[in-house]
Amino acid sequence: MRRSLRSAAVGSIGRPLAKAIAKPIAKPIAKPIVFLLALLPLASLVLGAAAGTLGANPAEALIRGLGDWTLRMLCATLAITPLRQWLGWPELARFRRMLGLYTFFYGLLHFLAYAWLDMSLDLHDIVRDIGKRPFILVGSAALLLMLPLAASSFGAAMRALGAARWQRLHRSVYAISLLALLHFYWMRAGKNDFAEVGVYAAIIGLLLGWRLVRRLRRIRRSAHERNNRVHAATPRPRSTEPSA
């Protein structure tokens, strides 16, 4: 029932609109364009630092800005699979790896900015900070967990792992998302300032929740099918009505 309602809505407005936008997304040039667009936030921050337009505390602006964009890239990466289904744009799949790698890239820069601008690359101080500040501990954990994902993003690694193992490994992005949210929440907890945290939690909650619902539906469906197979195997009195 729900599916038919959705199809009706999609059919009248959504499908033609989706087709119109899907065309440019499918073009080969879309990938380099998205690549450059995703670099813009970094360029803006670096140019801002060079030009002195980041405000009175440019170090803080850089560290926070890079952190913000790590979260945004993460949301974009997680949104690919649901959007593919909702909008009927299978072409979106081509961008998932790039956005995932950009998440790692911005996360790494965020950590490097903290290590260099806040801690002057003093390894002893950094390690002590990670132990002392729980929010930095979970942030570091999230970054570390992203390493194997980034390393296995390429053809050779994917073939070596095989599809099933690669899928399982990359599901750790869910844990990474929760750690990233916790990192942001704990950072803001010192100021009771949760407005932005709430927005990201809602978005990530929606994107992860969609997967949870899909998983539950699959489990229910496969349980259903198993049930039907059992009933089919059991002999039943033949009826004159055609099967459904």
Partner 1 sequence: MHLHRDHGFIHPVSSEITPQSLYEGRREWLQRLALIAAGTSLGAFAARDARAAATPTLAPLAGVRSSVSGALTMEKTTAREDATSYNNFYEFGSDKSNPAARAHAMKTRPWTVTVEGEVHKPRRLDLDTLMKLGAIEERIYRLRCVEGWSMVIPWLGFSLSKLIKAVEPTGNAKFVQFETLADPEQMPGLRSRVLDWPYVEALRMDEAMHPLSMLVFGMYGELLPPQNGAPVRLAVPWKYGFKSAKSIVGIRFVEQQPTTSWERAAPQEYGFYSNVNPNVDHPRWSQASERRIGEDGLFAKKRATLMFNGYEQQVGQLYTGMDLKKYY
Binding site residues, partner 1, CB under 8 A: 47, 49-53, 55-60, 62, 116-118, 120, 129, 132-135, 186, 189-193, 195
Nearer to partner 1, 186 or 210 (CB): 186
Q: Which is nearer to partner 1, 58 or 82 (CB)?
A: 58
Q: What is d(CA 142, CA 145) in angstroms, rounded to the nearest whole number? A: 5
Closest approach of partner 1 to the CB of residue 110, in Å: 16
Minimal distance, residue 60 CB to partner 1, in Å: 8
> Residues near 104 by Cβ (< 8 Å), separated by ≥ 6?
146, 147, 149, 150
| DSSP code, position 205 | H
Smallest gap from residue 132 Cβ to partner 1 (A) = 7
113 class by beta-carbon count within 10 Å (0-12 exposed, 13-18 middle, 19+ buried): buried
Other CB atoms within 10 Å distance of the CB of residue 184: 22
Our CB check for partner 1 shows the closer of 60 and 91 to be 60
- CB closer to partner 1, 195 vs 230: 195
CB of 123 to partner 1, least distance (A): 14
Q: How far apart are CA 204 and CA 79, in angstroms?
A: 9
